[in-house]
Amino acid sequence: MAGGGTSLRAQSVACMVSGEPITNLDIEQRTKLNALTTHKQMPRQEVIDQLIDEKVKNKEGKKYGVDPTSSDIEQSYAGMSSRMRITPDQLTKSLESQGVRSDTLKARLKAEMVWTSLVRGRFKESLQVGEKEVAAAAGDQSQAEAFEYQMQPIILIVPKGAAPATIESRKKEAETLRERVQSCEAANSYFKSMPNAAIRDVVTRTSADLPGPLRELLDKTPIGHLTAPEITKQGVEMVVLCGRKPTTVDTPKKREIREKMYTEKYEAKSKSYLQEIRKAAMIECR
């Protein structure tokens, strides 16, 4: 009887949000999930508020036709497990070992998907960050020199499990070729006919697209020459620099400022929108 009473309490409704229930079990499950992801014990009222927010977000999403399918949610769940370098089944088992059902995480993922799509879709225009805004925020830094690079990745293939001597031999071969190659045409001629080697199509990237160390490396590399060989899982990799020209399209600093300004606009709009729809919702808690 005592066990039955506990089960009934867990299933009992704690809140109604526009006709949809939040049970004590929902609150208990979300509390465990939050503790698992934040390593903190969130107060019960904060958990309830979080669940209420998600109910009103999902309801607002349906109003505008934003309603992820079970397949969309499973895909998001699989994406999360992939980033954790585990399979979806392993993620489910890991959650269950902590007393958390996978549906609890999936419910949170669904609400996040709905809300992101809703805010970005409905307020697309007001969330845009203009170039004048970025330039004003960047000040003199906006004038920092940026380049557009045209390059072709090259790989000297080394079989998996190859002996260190084989890898070293290919690296020496790469160094020799590096001295010979002085144009993109020469690089294509050498590497397209070479066994166990490949040269990719030309890719174009700006300074803002590349990590700092690679930008520095490309800035020091003469046009038509190869970067220093690097050993990777594929083998020995290099890049032939086919072109480098100044650009005003973007700089790393401007991109950083633009992303920060967008995030600030998104968070402000998200907060005010949520307050608005919560006020309009019928919320009753016991």
Q: What is the pLDDT of residues 49-89, one digit of tens each?
A: 999 999 999 999 999 999 999 999 999 999 999 999 999 99
pLDDT for the residue 202: 92
Q: How many of the other CB atoms lie within 10 Å of CB of 59?
A: 17
Mean local confidence (pLDDT), 187-212: 88
What are the helix (H) ranges across the chain?
Answer: 2-11, 24-38, 44-63, 70-83, 88-97, 102-122, 124-127, 131-138, 164-180, 184-193, 212-220, 252-280
d(CA 35, CA 91): 16
Beta bridge partners of 282: none
Determine the distance from the C-alpha atom of residue 277 to the mean position of all C-alpha atoms in its chain, rounded to a whole number: 28
Q: What is the pTM of this model?
A: 0.62
pLDDT at 216: 86
Model confidence band, residue 7 (pLDDT cutoffs 50, 70, 90) = low
Q: pLDDT, tens digit, for every residue of 84-132?
A: 999 999 999 999 999 999 999 999 999 999 999 999 999 998 898 877 7
Torsion, Cα of 159, 161, 163, 168 (10° steps) = 50
pLDDT band of 161, cuts 50, 70, 90: confident
Which range scores top for mean pLDDT: 47-61, 161-175, 211-225? 47-61
156's tokens: 């000297």
Give tens-digit pLDDT for 255-276.
788 889 999 999 999 999 999 9
pLDDT computed for residue 144 by the predictor: 54
Structure tokens at 4: 């039955």
Percent of the chain with pLDDT over 70: 93
Which pLDDT score, from 0 to 100, does residue 3 have?
47
b/e burial code for range 218-237 (CB count within 10 A of at least 16 → b): beebeebbbbebeeeeebbb
Question: Mean of the pLDDT values across residues 162-169?
Answer: 89
Which pLDDT value is given to residue 55? 97
**Closest by CA position to 104, among listed 4, 49, 14, 36:** 36
- At 10, the pLDDT band (50, 70, 90 cuts) reads low
